[in-house]
Amino acid sequence: MKNLTKGILLGTLTAGVAAATAYYRSLSPMQKEAVQDRFLDQLAASKVKMDQLKNDTTDHFNILMSELRYAQENDEGWQILLADFKQEYINLSNQAKNQYTYWQQALAEQVDAHLDIDVPGTMDQIQSNYSEIKNQAAKVFTEAKSNLVADHQNSKNEVDKKIDEAQAEFDIVLDAQQADVKAALGLAEDDINEIK
């Protein structure tokens, strides 16, 4: 993705690349710096919120898994399946976090220079990245339910309930991260209007 300033990100969405470029170049150095600083502050604040959401979700996931662990605490095979599922969840969670961090860093770096950007293409790439993670997660959660109840049909309701809950919360994190990154692409409109 090419470098650009925060002021241009929204301009490409609202006025087209050429108009946004012309407007950004008309700003004084102080105005450009104000746009950049505000953008970086917003990115930092968003990251704190996203990290807290992820941590809260992971903490609740661990509680749900502890409850399932006790459901068949004397079954070694059950415990192994749960441990494997937990590791896959951690891997997916880290993958989502890395994806979010990548886009955060990319946007932060782009405030130092200005080049044209394909905003629709960038939006599509963000959507594709998160859809891929969500699809992977859906398979992991589905397989976990199937594996855990294969020899324990009596635990099916509890397994389905807790894993469905964990999946729903995981999806909320993914959707929140994706929405936050997409919002950053259009974040500059109010900032630009304020300094006009």
For residue 122 the two structure tokens come to 């960038």
Q: Answer yes or no: is pLDDT of 186 > 70.
A: no
Helix (H/G/I), strand (E/B), else coil: 182: helix
When pLDDT is averaged across residues 59-71 and rounded to a whole number, the result is 92
Q: How far apart (Å, rounded) are the C-alpha atoms in residues 192 and 27?
A: 10
| Chain-centre distance for alpha carbon 136 | 14
Residue 94's nearest CA partner among 159, 177, 184 is: 177
Residue 104's nearest CA partner among 12, 53, 42 is: 42
pLDDT for res 121: 76
pLDDT for res 134: 95
DSSP 111: G
pLDDT in tens, 28-57: 677 667 666 777 777 778 888 888 889 999
**pTM of model > 0.85:** no
Phi, psi of 15, deg, nearest 5: -120, -5
Q: How many Cβ atoms from other residues are within 10 Å of residue 14's Cβ?
A: 13
The contacts of residue 107 (CB under 8 Å, 6+ apart) are 6, 9, 39, 43, 181, 184, 185
Q: Answer yes or no: is pLDDT of 144 > 90.
A: yes
